[in-house]
Amino acid sequence: MNQRQQARLCTLENIASVENLFAAAGRARRGKARRPDVEAWWSRRETEITRLRAELLAGAYQPGGYRFFEIHEPKRRVIAAAPFRDRVVHHALCRPLAPLLERRFIARSFSCQIGKGTTAARECCRRLTNCHAYVLKCDVRKFFPNIDHAILARKLAEPIPDARVMALIGVILGSFHTGAEVPAPLFPGDDLSEVAGRRRGLPIGNLTSQLWGNFYLDALDHWVTETERHGAYLRYTDDFLLFGNDAARLWELHAGIVGQLAQVRLKLAEPKSRLLATREGVPFCGFRFLPGLRPRILGATKRRFEHRCHKLTRRKDYRRLTQSVFAWYQFSREGNTAGLRRAYSQATAGCRPACFR
């Protein structure tokens, strides 16, 4: 299916169809079927979907309030959890929208795409590390809180022909904005009152936020790989790497990236954005990559796992402890961790390492 055909499917009638809403509800329910609010909604799903369809087609749909909570792994983040009814709408919107937007992404744009998760991103990083002497590691400062609503809406309007779909996107965008607790980035020539009035921020926790966040930086990907013809590049959400053998050329690209980000009112995080020699190790997605070697787990990643296991052991929450250890095992086997996994596995043999005491 070509892009024009996919654009024709991205209409409000298709999004609000009974078949699409039922499929979206099934996806939104995965992993949450035992939650009381999800069970209650699912028990009357025919009535809820009929009502939701009528609201969407009439342009009367309004999102509910978010439930906020904090997580601290790997760093402090505020998660905004939408009600289940709104998550159904997010899935219904993304089902036709994701294929339309993802076909525009470059091959080395990872995160929240089928077959392009952390495992694929790490494998790409490993191959590029083996072939280059330097890497420019870049990270966007407060990425999701600083995504500008007006710029995002203007970008989305290019591939989406249906005005009613854009109106629905506007309603979802308007349901959340970043407050004064996160200062807005300032650029030369800014009017302070105008900056204060700009709505910005996507809620971390919405399915739409992940897709729109990837699309927001898509122009940067094409600038690096097509305009500057620098193919040794990969991006995972707002964390991206540029590899090369010429340090001066990478610094030139760094200056260009600053300019490209300024066009969408974003800035690089300092000092996280820096030039490294690959022989020093490239930190990425929880591992440190070295040329010619299997990646090693970052020390901070190990400490977080040990702290989590210690906390769950004190609470005697053995079900979550088992899940955590199994998830760690699946994660760690991607790197050079045989000795580390052997040390942790001694806990089951009565020789408990520090994280299980």
What is the tens place of the pLDDT at every residue in 314-346? 888 888 888 888 888 888 888 888 888 777 776
With 60 as the cut, is the pLDDT of residue 351 above it?
Answer: no
With 90 as the cut, is the pLDDT of residue 312 above it?
Answer: no
Q: Tell me, what's the pLDDT at 322? A: 85
**Residue pair 29/38 in contact by the 8 Å Cβ criterion:** yes
H-state helical runs in 223-316: 247-263, 299-315
Residue 265, CB-side half-sphere exposure with 13 Å CA sphere: 20
With 70 as the cut, is the pLDDT of residue 13 above it?
Answer: yes
With 70 as the cut, is the pLDDT of residue 117 above it?
Answer: yes
What are the angstrom distances between the C-alpha of 87 and each of 21, 29, 170, 332?
Answer: 11, 9, 16, 31
Q: Tell me, what's the pLDDT at 353? A: 45
Q: Tell me, what's the pLDDT at 347? A: 55
Q: Tell me, what's the pLDDT at 73? A: 65
Q: Tell me, what's the pLDDT at 321? A: 84
Q: Tell me, what's the pLDDT at 281? A: 94
Q: Average model confidence (pLDDT) for the chain?
A: 90
Name beta bridge partners: 144. none
Average pLDDT, integer, range 172-191: 91
Q: Tell me, what's the pLDDT at 61? A: 96
Q: Tell me, what's the pLDDT at 31? A: 87
Range of lowest pLDDT (71-85, 135-149, 251-265): 71-85
**Residue pair 185/141 in contact by the 8 Å Cβ criterion:** yes
Between CA 248 and CA 198 the distance in angstroms is: 37
Residue 287: its H or E element: strand 287-289
Q: Tell me, what's the pLDDT at 271? A: 83
Q: How confident is the model at residue 142 (pLDDT cuts 50, 70, 90)?
A: very high
With 90 as the cut, is the pLDDT of residue 306 above it?
Answer: no
Q: Which one of 75-84, 158-167, 291-300 scores highest in mean pLDDT? A: 158-167
Q: What would the pLDDT profile of 269-284 be if each residue is shown by its tens digit?
A: 988 899 999 999 999 9
Task: For the chain, give the percent of residues with pLDDT over 90.
Answer: 66
